[in-house]
Amino acid sequence: MSGAIILAGGGSGGHLSPGLAVAERLHASHPDRTIIFACSRRPTDRMMLESAGARFEPITSSAFTFRPLRVLPMIRSLVRGAREADRLLERSQAAVVLAMGGYVTVPVVHAARRRGLRVVLLNLDAVPGRANRWIAGRADEICTTVPIRDSSSMETASEIGFPIRRSAMAASDSLSCRERLGLDPSRPTLLVTGASQGASSLNAFMRELVGGTPLALDGWQVIHLTGPNDEKQLARAYAAAGIPSAVTGFLDHMGLAWGAADLALSRAGANSVAEAAVNHVPTLFVPYPHHKDLHQKYNAEPLVRIGAAELAHDSIQPGPNMTTIGEPLIALLTDPERLGRMRQALESRSPRDGAREIADRLVVED
């Protein structure tokens, strides 16, 4: 048996789900290898990893900041996290670290480099975050799931497929998926998702839509993943409008939702874009609005270019969003032929097993 494989990342499902996909492939091909997640201390990380039965250890971390009053606490947090990571690497006799994104990767990579361990960076976004840009200069190998924009530190990156968990892929036909979610098997279905944390502005927009324009969803039913807030309010709103729905804060088996959907309204995080693509679901992507450069849009652009997806602007407030999101959404809801063409464009793409590609790079036989 060789040393442990450390999968470092966290803070959101978008950083952990690819790692869980890689872990699945590693367990299948190298069942003797120890796999440990070095995650953040956020409740989302614990919930996801415990649900998957993964072995994990939370590491203290902090976002980069240059604000005078926060610099010292940030440094203290990073030092503490590096010590915790160093103890983890020593106890586990780690052989390699896969950095998957999020600030928790910084202290883990710092400890790994001090120990002379191999570091592989998995970049998931077209516009790399600060942590990934820092790690790029310290990684032995850089892999990216999308073409990288404006990052000279990653010129040597090799492009791979996006690692997707088996539970995020539809395992059966749409009728079966809808039945399992308690929905009408024969009714067209809209999936609304803000990923693991939900999206408060999308939740508010949907309440506004079904409250003021319920006929927009005439004949449709909705699967709405609200995140930790708004679940009860959305369920009441759909019921009051007479729209069949399955509303939940979180769904671990996302393949059910994607498999049931004819159309999705989604944030444009790399994980969401990849899951929509592999499940052939036409999607109206709404990039996270609090990034100044709206860089999530670059994750979705390859699908937009082939006519498989569309982009909409999140104006944050429900009123303006009735125009910026509502109009393109209603246009898609009322045009089944257009949805058919979008699905065909998705089906024409050749999928790659990114989880297998990464797993093969991590395992170095003794």
Task: Tell whether the model's pLDDT for residue 102 goes beyond 90.
Answer: no
Task: Tell whether the model's pLDDT for residue 294 goes beyond 80.
Answer: no
Q: Please state the pTM of the whole predicted model.
A: 0.88
What is the C-alpha to C-alpha distance for residues 34 and 264, in angstroms, rounded to an integer?
37
User: What's the pLDDT at 198?
Assistant: 66
Percent of the chain with pLDDT over 90: 73
- Which one-letter amino acid corresponds to residue 196? S
User: What's the pLDDT at 101?
Assistant: 84
Given a contact cutoff of 8 angstroms between Cβ atoms, the answer to whether 227 and 247 are in contact is: no
Tell me how far apart the 2 most distant CA atoms of the chain are, in Å: 64
User: What's the pLDDT at 197?
Assistant: 67
Q: List pLDDT tens digits, range 31-76.
A: 999 999 999 998 889 988 998 999 999 999 877 666 777 778 878 8
What is the C-alpha to C-alpha distance for residues 197 and 225, in angstroms, rounded to an integer?
9
pLDDT, averaged across the chain: 91
Taking alpha carbons only, the member of 89, 4, 61, 48 closest to residue 197 is: 48
User: What's the pLDDT at 151?
Assistant: 65
Q: List pLDDT tens digits, range 161-193.
A: 999 999 999 988 999 999 999 999 999 999 999
Sort 290 into a burial class: Cβ within 10 Å, 0-12 / 13-18 / 19+: exposed
CA dihedral 269, 273, 278, 282 (to 10 degrees): 140
Taking alpha carbons only, the member of 162, 121, 160 closest to residue 141 is: 121
Average pLDDT (72-88) is: 89
Domain boundaries in the chain? 4-159, 168-347
Confidence class for position 153, pLDDT limits 50, 70, 90: confident
Task: Tell whether the model's pLDDT for residue 366 goes beyond 50.
Answer: no
Most confident range, picked from 57-61, 99-103, 275-279, 286-290: 275-279
Kindly provide the residue ranges of all beta strands, DSSP E only, lying in the chain, ordered along the sequence: 4-8, 35-39, 56-58, 94-99, 118-123, 141-144, 158-159, 189-193, 221-225, 245-248, 263-266, 283-285, 309-311
The CA radius of gyration of the chain, in Å to the nearest whole number, is: 21
- Please give the CATH number for the structural domain made up of 168-347: 3.40.50.2000
Q: Is 4-159 CATH 3.50.50.60? A: no
